[in-house]
Amino acid sequence: MRLIIKEFLSQLGESGELDRLLPDLLTRMRIVPISRAQVGVRQNGVDVAGIGVDTNGVRRLYLFVLKVGDLGRRDWDGGVNTVRVSLNQILDSYLQCNVLPEYRDLPITVVICSTGDLKQEVQTDFAGFCARNNSISLDFTFWSGDHLAELIDQYLFDEYVIDPDQRADLRRTLALIGSRDYDLRHAYDLLKALLIEGAEASVCLGRTGRKRFVRQLKTAALVLEIIFRWAADAGNLLNAFKVGERCCLWAWEGARLRGLAGHPSIKRAVKEIFRSHQRICEAYLQKLRPYYSARDGVSLFSRENALITNTLFEQIGVLAVIGLVHIEVAHFSTDEEQVRRAIDQAGEAAGALLELISNNPSSASPRYDGNAIDIALALMLLYLAGGHEQAKQWLEDLAARITFSWQTSNSFPISTDSFDDLLALELGILDQGQISKLKDLSTLIPVIMHWCAMLGESALYQRLSHLQANVFKDVCLQLWYPDQATEPLIYMQQAQYDSGTTEAPIRFPADITGFLGAQRLRAQSGNFVGPEAFSAVKEGLPVLIPMACRHFRTPLAPQFWLPDVPAA
């Protein structure tokens, strides 16, 4: 395990990564951080400061200088960001001006904390510096990557948080994370053990149980970071993205089961997991962006022609959730730089989505009715990002191709999620009865018609409405709506089979005015629960609902598409 942690540490950057991990470690070591690194603020040599008790029971002020990688002669001296310069700044400036009055009488330990080693060529220099400056009240020490890995293993991965079986699951996950066929079962088992198991028994444990769950959330965040680094190195960020989604969903479900979803410390820990997943989203988008910009670029990731469209719509759903995650982070972040970056990333995700759609003509030819989930998510992102005209054009293309495929009974979106059914249709080995069974219901057409109304596409809505009597006359148009029994399921599994209500068959009014009137009446009827019935929405993390729908393939109900549209 320590070798795994050491390898993980070697991949960290100093800013935004190591300085984010260290305060959590110090807290577990009973060293309370009193200051953290800030971008653009003069640090006077100190990245993190904390107050704690040493092995002799003496209360001390700890000052940490953070560096990444092995430290050689060039890192020790000779530039503005070298170790020697930082130590001199501490002696000349920080100790004179930055130590608060209540801490000035405490003994001080200055720690050079690195993810690597102190090379032999500078060990004598460091020893000489310590000999000149160490005193009864001040000493300098070095934490190597090996020592840091040992501390992380001891304090963040201790036996009270992650047992040997769970460590084995982590090792198996890292060994298989690069495989495209890996089902991530070991990662999911580990996250389930950390976040879900024993949740009901912990509801009434009070402050002790709450602190333990915060610790489990932080451990899950560290596990996610480790998996992310390994997946990036193995060239399979899609697996990291899937683990990130599951970690966000189960972190919230664990909080909900414990009755802690609204507690500030729990929400802060969950949001840290969100930020880790946001970094995965950012890395995924940057890696795949060239393929989105290339004509038919997604086809490179499919081994069979019949799988190309499936891969394409998977990417459409993934990109949509990436954009929505960035929007969510922008909403709950308090740091202006984080907000600006999240907004920029959301815009980039929307731009990449448009490139993906325009460069892959089959984006208007879904092959599964379940692709309605991905289409709804993508339209939601485009709407929120201001891409209304592009969304309208995509709706036009979708409607035209789906209508033609239905009329010809060729390459239409089948009502099952079976690849065998799709392949049999492609090969032309089905009789008319079997084909009719694969086109007997549709949620995709109602989703398109709803979005026609949302985007004001009256002419397209009317055309589709008129086709109900002929092209779609034998098709059961339907939509699923959640109910009070949905939330205990939605973060864990497909929710539509054990909860909710299906409206079927749907007969759409002839024009948008009639449709909107029917929507208002439905919202006022009280027969369907609104978004506010879900704890994630009430507590300010509404993106968890579309994320859960994409991850577990639960239909995304109309009331979640846009917050300012009447619930349907």
Q: Is the pTM of this model over 0.85?
A: yes
- Average pLDDT on 339-366 reads 94
Give the residue, 483 or 78, on which the prediction is more confident.
483
Question: How far is 379 from 382, CA to CA, in rounded Å?
Answer: 5
Residue 306 falls inside a structural domain: no
Question: For tokens 């060039």, what's the residue?
Answer: 74
Q: For 244-278, write each residue's pLDDT tens digit.
A: 999 999 999 999 999 999 899 999 999 999 999 99
Whether residues 546 and 527 fall in one domain: yes
Q: For 201-253, write each residue's pLDDT tens digit.
A: 555 567 788 888 998 999 999 999 999 999 999 999 999 999 999 999 999 99
Residue 298 falls inside a structural domain: no
Whether residues 227 and 325 fall in one domain: no
Q: How many domains does the chain have?
A: 3
3-state SS, residue 46? coil
Q: Kindly list the distances between the CA atom of residue 276 and the CA atoms of 237, 242, 273, 282, 328, in Å, as whole numbers in the listed order.
A: 13, 13, 5, 10, 13
Whether residues 426 and 513 fall in one domain: yes
Beta strand 441-442 with 138-143 is unpaired
Q: Is the pLDDT of residue 568 over 50?
A: no
Whether residues 379 and 509 fall in one domain: yes
Question: How far is 309 from 13, CA to CA, in rounded Å?
Answer: 38
> Final residue of a domain: which of 293, 326, 343?
293
> Final residue of a domain: which of 152, 187, 218?
152
Assign 508 a pLDDT band (cuts: 50, 70, 90).
very high
3-state SS, residue 195? helix
Q: Is the pLDDT of residue 41 over 70?
A: no
> Final residue of a domain: which of 109, 128, 152?
152
Residue 23 falls inside a structural domain: yes
**209, 210, 215, 220 alpha-carbon torsion, rounded to 10°:** 100
Q: Is the pLDDT of residue 491 over 60?
A: yes
pLDDT score at 300: 66
Residue 347: Cβ-neighbour burial (10 angstroms; 0-12, 13-18, 19+): middle
Nearest to 184, CA basis, from 134, 113, 232, 245: 245
Whether residues 357 and 487 fall in one domain: yes
Residue type, 258: R
Residue 433 falls inside a structural domain: yes
Whether residues 223 and 126 fall in one domain: no
pLDDT score at 563: 44
pLDDT score at 566: 36
pLDDT score at 42: 66
Beta strand 48-53 with 59-67 is antiparallel
Nearest to 23, CA basis, from 116, 106, 113, 103: 113
Residue 466 falls inside a structural domain: yes
List the CATH number of the domain containing 128.
3.40.91.30
Question: How far is 209 from 170, CA to CA, in rounded Å?
Answer: 24
Whether residues 257 and 379 fall in one domain: no
DSSP, res 118: B
Q: Which residues of 533-560 are buried (b: 16+ CB within 10 A; e: fewer)?
A: bbbbbebebbbbbbbbbbbbbbbbbbbb
Domain range spanning residue 376? 311-568
Q: For 276-307, write each residue's pLDDT tens digit.
A: 999 999 999 999 999 999 988 877 665 556 67
Q: Is the pLDDT of residue 134 over 90?
A: yes
Least confident of 145-159, 410-424, 443-457: 145-159
> What is the gyration radius of the CA atoms in the chain, in angstroms?
27
Residue 71 falls inside a structural domain: yes
Whether residues 340 and 287 fall in one domain: no
Q: Is the pLDDT of residue 415 over 90?
A: yes
Question: How far is 124 from 129, CA to CA, in rounded Å?
Answer: 9
Tell me the backbone φ, ψ of residue 480, rounded to 5 degrees: -105, 140
Q: Are 369 and 444 a contacting pair, CB within 8 Å?
A: yes
Size (the chain), residues: 568
Question: How far is 316 from 50, CA to CA, in rounded Å?
Answer: 45
**289, 294, 296, 300 alpha-carbon torsion, rounded to 10°:** -60
pLDDT score at 201: 58
Max Cα distance, the chain (Å): 91
Nearest to 62, CA basis, from 47, 77, 50: 50
Whether residues 282 and 321 fall in one domain: no
Assign 439 a pLDDT band (cuts: 50, 70, 90).
very high
3-state SS, residue 340? helix
Residue 302 falls inside a structural domain: no
3-state SS, residue 62? strand
500: left (phi > 0), else alpha (psi -120 to 50), else beta?
left
Tokens found for residue 180: 């495209």
Question: How far is 142 from 164, CA to CA, in rounded Å?
Answer: 30
Q: Is the pLDDT of residue 325 over 80?
A: yes
Residue 258 falls inside a structural domain: yes
Question: How far is 472 from 157, CA to CA, in rounded Å?
Answer: 57
Whether residues 218 and 316 fall in one domain: no
Whether residues 278 and 330 fall in one domain: no
Whether residues 510 and 439 fall in one domain: yes
